[in-house]
Every structure is written in C-alpha cells, then in structure tokens.
Amino acid sequence: MLKQSVSRARVKTGGKLYIAGEYSVLTPGQTALIQFIPIFMSAEIKKAQTTQLTSDMFDYSVDREPDVNYALIQEALNTFEAYCGEKLPALDLSITGKLERDGVKFGIGSSGSVVVLTFKALAAALQKDLSKDSLFKLASYTLLKQGDNGSMGDLACIVYEDLVSYRSFDRAKIAELIDQMTLSELLEIDWGYHISPVVSVLKARFLVGWTKQAAISKDMVKMAKSRISSKYLSETEVAVQDAIKALETGNKNLLKSSLQTVSDQLESLSPNIYVDKLKKLKEAEQGLDVIAKSSGAGGGDCGIAFVFDQASRDALVERWQQAGIELLYEI
C-alpha cells in the first residue's frame, strides 16, 4: 500500500473542441487542431475508511467492486496502482460537473475528461508528480484497455489545457503491446504521437455554438470511418496544416479557405454530420466576416466559428439564437 498520507485535494479538467482534422486523425500519423474549452469538471479527493467513488452523472456511489457505469474511473485507479507499483489506500473520490444542461451533453467533454480528472486527483492526493506526457499516456492506456475507438486527441488537448496540434499514434499497435509489456516498459517507449501547443497571433474571436442536440460520437465515427479514403486523408492533412500556419502567422484568408476545405470534406464524408441545426450554424456565416463549421463527430453537439469583426460577431450570435443555437463559449 502507498505509504504516504492522503492529502485532501481538489482538481479540475476542462473540455475540448476540434477545429480541424476530427475524422482524419482517427488514422495514425494524421494531424488534428484542437481547442481547449475552459468549462470544467472537478474532483475532490480525501482519505477514507473504505474507498468510495461518486459521480454526479449517476445517483449512486460505488467502491472498487466492478460497476459498468464507473468502469472508467475504476480502471484509472487500477492503472494508477500499476504505475505506482503498490496498492492505493482507501479514498473518497467525488466528481462533479457533467458538461451538460437539462440532460443534454455539450459535446465538449469526453470519457477522457473523467479519466484525466481521476489521475490528476490521485496524483495530487498522493503527492505524485505526473508530467503532461505521462498523464497523456496513462489516460490513453486506460481508455485502450476499455476498448475505446477514439484518436486520443481529446486527451492531448485536455491534458495540455491549450490549443494544440496533435498527430495520432497507432492505437491498435499500442493495444497489442499492453498485453506484452509492463506499464512501466510501455511508458518508456515512443508511441509515435506528437502534441504541440499552437500560439495563435490571428486577430479573431472564437465562438462555440451549442445545438442542444446530442450526437452519439461512437456511432458517427463507426459510420464515417469506412468512407475515409487516402484522398480524403491527404487533402484534409494539407488543410489542417494550412489552418495551423494561418493561426501562427495571422493569415485570415488562409484560415477561412482551409476551414472551408475541412468543412466541405466533412460534408462529403457523410450527410449525417451536418444535421439541420449544424447546417444553420454554418449558413449563418453568409455575408459576414466569419468562417464556421461543425466540430467533432457532428450529428449534433457543437459547431465553431472564427469571427473577424464585432458587427459580424453580433449578427452571427443573433442568427444562431433565431435557429435555436446557444452561444456556449467565446474567447
């Protein structure tokens, strides 16, 4: 058992939204551009007589006995024990902040948010230093063990709490290695991903529009994955790199053209990505100094917009409101 005392700690993690590369990044070696969203979930952890895990997503608490709803949190505890090489002491861990309203999710969080939050709470309570890279790998490892089919780009953004470019790794290969190597051996090797904060100098506002329609990301991903061609990947990669360059050099026209390309590519992938409200979110840019698009899996949740003057911003928000789209966040 970990010998050090359990400190009472409170930690938080935010959400993320894809600017570009949301489907292509599922293929190893492809790049996505992902924006951190500071709408937070928080966790409180303290010592206890027996372990108790509580989340406001569910109306009951559990211990370490396997439970389907708490599987990710419990798996994170198992991973942290393997990382430390000894059993965890009894803990009371409480997670709050559902990243939803009236039972409808925003689509800015992910199972990744919960896993990262759990690791941050454990590290704080047990005075363990976790680098961002270790945190990313531990969270990815936990999700892979649970059979997650995502790119892990959400983790990269949530861990770094920044606008990031993320090049994905071969998850199938790492999942195989999980059965062949110890966790400490696995953490030592290069997985082949690259995470880099992007410093934007572009004079623009970034707006998030919430459709109030929940998308089932896993189903959307499964459906679209089979339609991703090598042409789609190469064209999207060029557009993603252009979008990164546009932000870093302050090139408004390049950002507009690159995000329009990415948006067109998404539309060609599946008609189910731009559902009615996301179509309206995109169409609201017409005649304004704005570029808008769906974000993430599509089919609902959120869309994004870069806005280049105040009049365009006000007109866009008004058009969104008329279409039943709420301004969720603005920076």
For 277-290, what is each residue's pLDDT tens digit?
999 999 999 999 99
* Same domain (yes/no): 138, 251: no
Task: Among 173, 197, 221, give the residue marking a domain's end.
Answer: 197
* Same domain (yes/no): 252, 179: no
Task: Among 150, 165, 197, give the residue marking a domain's end.
Answer: 197
* Same domain (yes/no): 143, 187: yes
Question: What DSSP letter does each residue of 143-171 carry, written as one string?
Answer: HHHTT--S-SHHHHHHHHTS-EEEE---H
* Same domain (yes/no): 277, 319: yes
pLDDT higher than 60, residue 3: no
* Same domain (yes/no): 223, 315: yes
* Same domain (yes/no): 61, 173: yes
Question: CA torsion sign, 309 to 315 to 319 to 321?
Answer: positive
List all residues 6 or more positions away from 216 whose beta carbon is below 8 Å from its beta carbon.
299
Q: Is residue 124 part of a domain?
A: yes
Q: Is residue 221 part of a domain?
A: yes
pLDDT given at position 2: 52
Note whether 40 and 97 are within 8 A (CB): yes
Q: Is residue 2 part of a domain?
A: no
List all residues 6 or more positions away from 129 whose beta carbon is below 8 Å from its beta carbon.
123
Note whether 71 and 60 are within 8 A (CB): no
pLDDT given at position 317: 97
Q: How many domains does the structure of the chain reveal?
A: 2
What pairs with residue 42 in β-bridges?
12, 96
Taking only the tens place, the pLDDT of each residue in 23-55 is 999 999 999 999 999 989 999 999 999 999 999
Residue 87: DSSP 8-state: P
Distance between CA atoms of residues 116 and 195, nearest Å: 16
pLDDT higher than 80, residue 216: no
Q: Which two tokens stand for residue 114?
A: 């919960």
Task: Among 197, 230, 258, give the residue marking a domain's end.
Answer: 197
Please give the residue range of the domain that contains residue 297. 205-330
What dihedral do alpha carbons 206, 211, 216, 219 form, nearest 10°?
A: -80
CATH number of residue 245's parent domain: 3.30.70.890
* Same domain (yes/no): 274, 184: no
Q: Is residue 1 part of a domain?
A: no
pLDDT band at 200 (very low <50, low <70, confident <90, very high): very high
Burial class (CB in 10 A: 0-12, 13-18, 19+), 66: exposed
* Same domain (yes/no): 127, 20: yes
Q: Which amino acid is at 285?
A: E
pLDDT higher than 60, residue 274: yes
| CA angle, 286 then 292 then 293, to 5° | 125
Q: Is residue 300 part of a domain?
A: yes
Give the distance from CA 157 to its chain's centroid: 6
* Same domain (yes/no): 230, 296: yes
Distance between CA atoms of residues 295 and 302, nearest Å: 6
Q: Is residue 71 part of a domain?
A: yes
Q: What does the pLDDT average to over 70-87?
A: 95
CATH number of residue 76's parent domain: 3.30.230.10
Cβ density class 107-124: b for 16+ within 10 Å, e for less: bbbbbbbbbbbbbbbbbb
pLDDT given at position 183: 96
Note whether 178 and 144 are within 8 A (CB): yes
Q: Is residue 168 part of a domain?
A: yes
List all residues 6 or more positions away from 104 whose beta carbon is below 8 Å from its beta carbon.
212, 213, 214
pLDDT given at position 221: 74
Which residue shows structure tokens 């991703």? Answer: 228
Percent of the chain's residues with pLDDT above 90: 79
* Same domain (yes/no): 309, 183: no
Other Cβ atoms less than 10 A from the Cβ of 203: the count is: 9
* Same domain (yes/no): 321, 215: yes
pLDDT band at 104 (very low <50, low <70, confident <90, very high): low
Q: Which two tokens stand for residue 267?
A: 């539309």
Q: Is residue 82 part of a domain?
A: yes
* Same domain (yes/no): 31, 157: yes
